[in-house]
């Protein structure tokens, strides 16, 4: 407890707070809150550790646990790990209580390289039992992973998962499963696992629809323009990161092409509000592409909003033009617009000083 910038201890006995070490001459302040330790219900202590990937697992796990402890976390649930460091940490005093699930269990090639214990479908039940015994009660199964085309693919049929769950339950343990796609979620529920980690988040990142579907359907994807596995990094798997970078660029290009087609189609059919909307999204995704900027300027102009078209064009040309509108400014603007393929637009929208 911190009171008047002094840290002191409180003792709780039978639900009653006793002022164990009062500050001399200070009346205890009963206002405020006394919170129990926090619980972190999903952590992998040796991954993304503040100690850095170059350290061994024990050092990484302790560095992560130190951060948790400093923030008031006294219990950590670790549904799986690439190593046994958290198991060793749980036996020592002065650390948060750690409930771990042993090593990740995945089929060969079914998870990030080097992070999982790889097992076949026939070997999954016995491996799950082994990990539950070693960890103290839990086993963690990787239920799906990214497959060809950037889509998550289920690893195990329900009967294989059910056999693993039965083996673990027979020794009083529990099974946690990492799943993302709906097929893997259905299989996990049918198998009777105890905990679904992540679950189907409805990523709405339908790669097939984006690449081969109709733009009329694809533009309605809630995460259109988002990044595949946005915010995630995989320093333990450089090859996977290279692949992911390529996929992100491929899907970004496909998204831009789709929005360009949508805007052009909307202009041709007179759906001018949609044309402006799609062109705006296109510019937001890639403002450096002159073709996107030109499309937005044209969409504004065709919709009758000449003021917005002029502002957009002037904003685009601003970096190449002097600030002062001298008599020569108009000619310079036209010359700059010509280099961007927009001379006719500029001649129509920009009036000479």
End-to-end CA distance of the chain: 70
Tell me the pTM: 0.61
Cα dihedral across residues 284, 287, 291, 293: positive or negative:
positive
6 bridge partner residues: 3
CATH 3.90.1150.10, domain 102-202, yes or no: no
Looking at per-residue confidence, does 278 or 236 come out higher?
Answer: 278
Lowest mean pLDDT across 20-34, 89-103, 281-295: 20-34
**Domain spanning 247-349, CATH class:** mainly alpha
Beta strands 138-142 and 104-106 are: parallel
DSSP 150: G
DSSP 289: -
Looking at per-residue confidence, does 113 or 91 come out higher?
Answer: 113
Q: Specify whether the CB–CB gap between 184 and 160 falls below 8 A.
A: no
Domain ranges for the chain: 1-34, 35-100, 102-202, 247-349
**Domain at 35-100: CATH code:** 3.30.110.90
Residue 94: CA count within 13 A, CB half-sphere: 2
Q: Using CA atoms, how far apart are residues 120 and 72, in angstroms rounded to an integer? A: 40
pLDDT at 320: 47
Q: Tokens 């529920």 map to which residue?
A: 189
Q: Mind listing the pLDDT tens digit for each residue in 302-351?
A: 888 888 877 877 776 665 444 445 555 445 555 555 555 555 655 555 55
Please tell me which of 31-45, 198-212, 267-281 the model is most confident about, judged by mean pLDDT.
267-281
Lowest mean pLDDT across 83-87, 157-161, 197-201, 343-347: 343-347
Q: Using CA atoms, how far apart are residues 189 and 340, in angstroms rounded to an integer? A: 56
Q: Using CA atoms, how far apart are residues 181 and 200, in angstroms rounded to an integer? A: 5
- DSSP labels for 91-145? TSTTS-EEEE--BEEE-TTSSSTTTEEE--TTTHHHHHHHHHHHHTSEEEEE-EE
Q: Using CA atoms, how far apart are residues 252 and 232, in angstroms rounded to an integer? A: 16
pLDDT at 353: 44
Q: Using CA atoms, how far apart are residues 272 and 279, in angstroms rounded to an integer? A: 10
* Six token digits for residue 134: 């070693």
Q: Mind listing the pLDDT tens digit for each residue in 281-315?
A: 998 998 888 788 888 888 888 888 888 877 877 77
Asked if residue 86 has pLDDT above 80, the reply is: yes
Q: Mind listing the pLDDT tens digit for each residue in 224-267?
A: 887 877 777 777 667 778 888 888 898 899 999 999 999 999 99
pLDDT at 265: 93
């Amino acid at each position: 407890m911190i009171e008047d910038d002094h840290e002191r201890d409180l003792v709780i006995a039978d639900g009653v707070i006793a002022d164990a070490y009062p500050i001399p001459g200070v009346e205890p302040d009963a206002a405020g809150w006394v919170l129990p330790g926090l619980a972190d219900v999903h952590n992998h202590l040796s991954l993304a550790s503040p100690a850095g990937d170059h350290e061994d697992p024990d050092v990484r796990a302790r560095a992560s646990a130190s951060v948790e402890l400093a923030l008031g976390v006294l219990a950590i649930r670790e549904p799986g790990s690439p190593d046994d460091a958290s198991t060793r940490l749980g036996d020592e005093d002065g650390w948060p209580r750690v409930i771990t699930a042993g090593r990740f269990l995945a089929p060969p090639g079914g998870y990030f390289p080097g992070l999982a214990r790889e097992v076949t479908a026939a070997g999954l039940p016995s491996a799950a039992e082994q990990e539950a015994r070693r960890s103290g009660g839990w086993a963690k199964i990787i239920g799906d992973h990214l497959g060809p085309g950037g889509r998550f693919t289920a690893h195990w049929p329900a009967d294989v998962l059910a056999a693993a769950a039965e083996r673990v339950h027979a020794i009083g343990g529990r099974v946690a499963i990492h799943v993302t796609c709906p097929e893997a979620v259905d299989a996990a529920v049918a198998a009777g696992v105890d905990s679904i980690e992540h679950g189907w988040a409805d990523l709405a990142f339908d790669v097939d629809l984006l690449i081969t579907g109709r733009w009329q359907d694809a533009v309605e994807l809630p995460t259109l323009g988002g990044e595949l596995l946005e915010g995630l990094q995989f320093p333990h798997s450089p090859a996977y990161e290279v692949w992911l970078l390529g996929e992100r660029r491929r899907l970004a290009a496909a998204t831009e092409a789709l929005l360009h087609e949508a805007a052009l189609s909307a202009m041709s059919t007179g759906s001018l509000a949609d044309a402006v909307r799609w062109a705006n999204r296109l510019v937001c995704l890639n403002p450096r592409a002159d073709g996107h900027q030109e499309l937005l300027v044209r969409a504004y102009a065709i919709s009758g909003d000449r003021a917005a078209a002029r502002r957009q064009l002037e904003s685009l040309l601003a970096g190449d033009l002097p600030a002062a509108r001298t008599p020569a400014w108009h000619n310079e603007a036209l010359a700059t617009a010509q280099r961007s393929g927009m001379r006719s637009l500029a001649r129509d929208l920009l009036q000479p000083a």
